[in-house]
Structure 1
Amino acid sequence: MRWNDLFRMSISSLSRRKLRTFLTVLGVVIGTSSIVVMVSLGLGMQRSMYSEVEKNGGASGITVTGKGQEEMPGDGAKKESRTKYITDEVVKQLAQLEHVKSAEPVLSLPAVVLKGSYEGMIEIQGMTPAGLASMNLKMEKGGKLPDPDSRELQLVFGNYVLAGFTEKGTGRGYWETGVMPDIDLGKDPLFLVLDQDGYARSGQPADMGTEKQGGDGAGNAGISSAPAQAPKKYAVPVSGVVAGGEKNQNANSENVFCDLGVLKEYLRREFRGRAIPGQPTTKSGRPYGKFVYSSAKIQADDMKNVERISDEIRGMGYNVTTNKEYIDSMKKQFEMVQAVLGGIGAVSLLVAAIGIANTMMMSVYERTKEIGVMKVIGCSLSSIRRMFLIEAAFIGLAGGITGNILSLLISGIINIFVSGGGMELGGSISFIPVWLLFLSTGFAVLTGTAAGYFPARRAMGLSPLEAIRNG
């Protein structure tokens, strides 16, 4: 029997039992869409993770931090303790390592920002112009990176920094009211307090935590009732705001960036003669002779060289974390998540396969006379088998295609919901690549064909005379 005849007879058989065919196809639709949507959630989260990593140097990015109290061999059996700091000299050494594309210092420190009745505790990250440029920050319209030649400290605000601001009197902010503070970062100048501890003590009596050295020569602390002196407030403009608005969060949404050189000048003026917060001091409490950075961001020339560079830096005595290690760790977790989600969806398709087998078996019993006639007129057993397998495969194909269309619709709805819900995935929690559509359709056809195999074998085993007599 020719293939076109088999197709025609198969379609005709399915069309005669429209309701049963529809319900069977519906089962495949639900099963296919369940698998695709479940897997797409894992793929979407993985894609979002890769996107965030790219904003922080990509897979070839390396972060180097200092290491405290490293034991160094001394004379004889003695050992010395030495802290490994990230200084300008160290950054230069790191930049000169083989396969290192760039090395940029990062200085992080807490500060206070004031505007009207609002105050906010922020974390400033001072970076070089090259370091800021490498982050590829997407700004709101009109925003730009800080000008390194400017004498004033310019800030780049993350799009979610204002959510941490609170009213001075009530302590209420975005998380209590659901409303962002009425501050226009593009127009309103802010006041920055670099001495966070001094700000916390200002207005407090000294006996609430500020001790003053007494004059009895014994080193005893005397008590003073005078309030601590308020630290200086610097008027600072906002040069840009990270794109995203109030709804979409990303790795830089809660960060505040500025030019490293200008920040260092401000810190030197503010803490002249005193130790800068976060900076090490000598045993006598004096400021350390060199400026110490929080970390250094290194860019390898190729992802293949990340491990080699990391081992070399660890050998120098510093702590190293790499985006590649993070990606590998997260990839394993996402693979487990995808396997679990795909397995949940596969259960639905398994139920659909049972439905296909049941439908095809019922079709065999209802068409025993037709099968008997086909055998009597000389139709081969293989043709009868192919006819039933074609019917089962067509059910799988129709269900797979329809299920994929439904999956795209559900995925779009999920992403719209996530985008409007302010979740930290950039509005793309579900991602359906083209290969997943083809793979799911092929899997649905294979499942349908497999489910129709035993009914087809049953049809082949019918006796022609018994089929005609009992049909």
Structure 2
Amino acid sequence: MKLADCLKMAFSDLNKRKLRTALTSFGIAVGAMLVILMAGLGQGIQQIGSDQIKQMDTMRIIKVIPKTTKGKDKIIAEDILDKFKKVSGVAGVSASIDTEVGEVKLGSRTGKKVNVQGNNLKFNVFMDAKQNEIKSDKKKVKKYGYRPIIAGDTMTRKNMDSVLVGQTYLNRIGIKDYKSVVGKEIDVVVSFPEIPGAPKKQPLLIKAKIAGVVNKLYDNGSNVITTSDSIAARIQEYYMSETDYINKKGYTTVNVEAKNMSDVTKVESAIKKMGYETQSQAGYADRMNTMFTIIKAILIAAGAIVLIVASIGVVNTMTMSVYEKTKSIGIMKAQGASKKSIRTMFTVQSGSLGFIGSIAGIAIALILGGIVNKVVAAYKIGGMEAGMKIVDIRASVLAFTIIFTILICVIAGIVPARRAAKLNPVDALRCD
């Protein structure tokens, strides 16, 4: 018996028993719908999580610690920075000497206990990854903008005696007109606190001009004065009473920016081979993706279990169909129909039930998924916005569901089909 004939007969039989077919198909449809919705929910959660990880672009930044992997101090000098920059997959390098001063004067205004970040101006002052992450926060961008410099310009190697001042620092000393301070002279006063009985050391006064003001959304936009590394080294030399600080002590904070998230592990490994300890969040993204995959698998499995339970109805339907067609089976066998033909006929019929149920399940899942996405976006549940999908149904999931549902129903119909094939034609013809 040809497959086309089996399909024609299967749909003809199903059409004769509309109510039973509808009820059985509905059970299968519910199972198929749950498989699709659970898979879509898992995919949606994973996609939203992945998008949020991508927005956390600073995960591309690797912090290099001036210690060996065994915990011993190991300085990071400028020649080492050059080596970091040449590593395959590196987009940029930032290095600074971090210190603090007791007083910074701007005209008649004074700021106490101000952090100083002395950058090597041969390399990045601002990392692209940080700017990309700030860009992703639309609310903050609307309020503060995303560019690192909000007034004036950044520092370069041509103006190493200039400084950048943080927006937060200016706010602290009561300055809101940021453009008004650009080009003005600023005094950085470095001194030791007076200790009774100890010799007094004359304060170190460093005069510089303000090149620009740093957006408060950036690290050095807080209570920070950004200088060249040479100025920060002078401050440290004052505190430590020694010379040639950069070559002797190296840089305090060194960050290496990978071109892509996929390069982080490779770059980090290369830096470790140079003997330095590193810190990054590369493992975090991998762990999150693994967790999302597990969640998606659990959700799909939950839907699949319901579908398998629904297939019990197929067994019942096909058993009834065999009972009702017993005499017809006897006639077909008397006319020479083989056991294989009889078995195929009923197997195709059970698969047809699965096909009908899966199509109905897909229709219901697409409608419900669309409604859920619109409601979640409309009420901004969980921070969802227009265009985002909490239920993300892919075409591959629909194709898988159709195949899986038909397969489950075919398996469920095997026992009734084998029973039909084994019927004795004489006994079958006697059945009323």
Describe the superposition over 1:379-437 as per-residue Cα deviations: whole angstroms up to 9, x where unpaired.
33222222211211111011112212222223223333433334256633322221111
Per the TM alignment, residue 452 of structure 1 is displaced from its structure 2 partner at its CA by: 0.9
Q: What is the CA–CA distance in structure 1 between the aligned matches of 2:28 and 2:85, rounded to whole Å?
A: 58
Residue aligning to 1:52: 52
Describe the superposition over 1:447-469 as per-residue Cα deviations: whole angstroms up to 9, x where unpaired.
11111111111111112222222
How many residue pairs align between the two structures? 354
Residue aligning to 2:205: none
Given residue 94 of structure 1, which amino acid in structure 2 is its aligned partner? F
Per the TM alignment, residue 21 of structure 1 is displaced from its structure 2 partner at its CA by: 0.7
Describe the superposition over 1:197-252 as per-residue Cα deviations: whole angstroms up to 9, x where unpaired.
999xxxxxxxxxxxxx8997699xxxxxxxxxxxxxxxx998xxxxxxxxxxxxxx
Q: What is the CA–CA distance in structure 2 between the aligned matches of 1:394 and 1:339, rounded to whole Å?
A: 27
Report the secondary structure of 2:259's partner residue: strand
Q: 1:283 to 1:367 in 2, by over 3 A?
A: farther
Contact 2:75/2:251 (CA < 8 Å) preserved in 1? no
Residue aligning to 1:193: 168
Pairing partner for 2:257 from 297, 301, 305:
297
Does 1:82 pair with 2:101? no
Structure with greater Cα Rg: 2
Given residue 65 of structure 2, which amino acid in structure 1 is its aligned partner? K
Residue aligning to 2:31: 31
Residue aligning to 2:373: 415
Normalized against structure 1, the TM-score is what? 0.61
Q: What is the CA–CA distance in structure 1 between the aligned matches of 2:75 and 2:312, rounded to whole Å?
A: 65
Does 1:437 pair with 2:398? yes
Report the secondary structure of 1:193's partner residue: helix
Normalized against structure 2, the TM-score is what? 0.65
Does 1:8 pair with 2:8? yes
Describe the superposition over 1:87-126 as per-residue Cα deviations: whole angstroms up to 9, x where unpaired.
98765542222x1341154999xxxxxxxxxxxxxxxxx9
Q: 1:34 to 1:282 in 2, by over 3 A?
A: farther
Q: What is the CA–CA distance in structure 2 between the aligned matches of 1:216 and 1:147, rounded to whole Å?
A: 44
Report the secondary structure of 1:194's partner residue: helix
Q: What is the CA–CA distance in structure 2 between the aligned matches of 1:139 and 1:71, rounded to whole Å?
A: 36
Given residue 45 of structure 2, which amino acid in structure 1 is its aligned partner? M
What are the residue-to-residue correspondences of 1:51-450 with 2, within 5 Å? 51-57=51-57, 62-67=60-65, 82=73, 92-97=82-87, 99-105=88-94, 128=126, 130-131=128-129, 137=135, 145-146=146-147, 148=149, 150-151=151-152, 193-194=168-169, 256-257=217-218, 266=225, 293=253, 295-299=255-259, 303=262, 306-314=264-272, 315-323=274-282, 325-419=283-377, 420-424=379-383, 427-450=388-411
Per the TM alignment, residue 343 of structure 1 is displaced from its structure 2 partner at its CA by: 1.7
Describe the superposition over 1:288-345 as per-residue Cα deviations: whole angstroms up to 9, x where unpaired.
9888558443326x94x6444212212442323253x334322332232222212211
Report the secondary structure of 1:311's partner residue: helix
Q: What is the CA–CA distance in structure 2 between the aligned matches of 1:4 and 1:312, rounded to whole Å?
A: 63
Residue aligning to 2:162: none
Determine which structure has the larger helix proportion and give its number. Answer: 2
Q: What is the CA–CA distance in structure 2 between the aligned matches of 1:423 and 1:131, rounded to whole Å?
A: 25
Q: 1:28 to 1:318 in 2, by over 3 A?
A: same
Describe the superposition over 1:163-190 as per-residue Cα deviations: whole angstroms up to 9, x where unpaired.
xxxxxxxxxxxxxxxxxxxxxxxxxxxx
Contact 1:388/1:456 (CA < 8 Å) preserved in 2? yes
Q: What is the CA–CA distance in structure 2 between the aligned matches of 1:149 and 1:353, rounded to whole Å?
A: 65
Report the secondary structure of 1:431's partner residue: coil
Q: What is the CA–CA distance in structure 2 between the aligned matches of 1:396 and 1:435, rounded to whole Å?
A: 18
Unaligned segments of structure 1, at least 5 residues: 73-79, 109-125, 154-190, 200-212, 220-235, 239-254
Residue aligning to 1:459: 420
Per the TM alignment, residue 129 of structure 1 is displaced from its structure 2 partner at its CA by: 7.2
Q: 1:100 to 1:370 in 2, by over 3 A?
A: closer
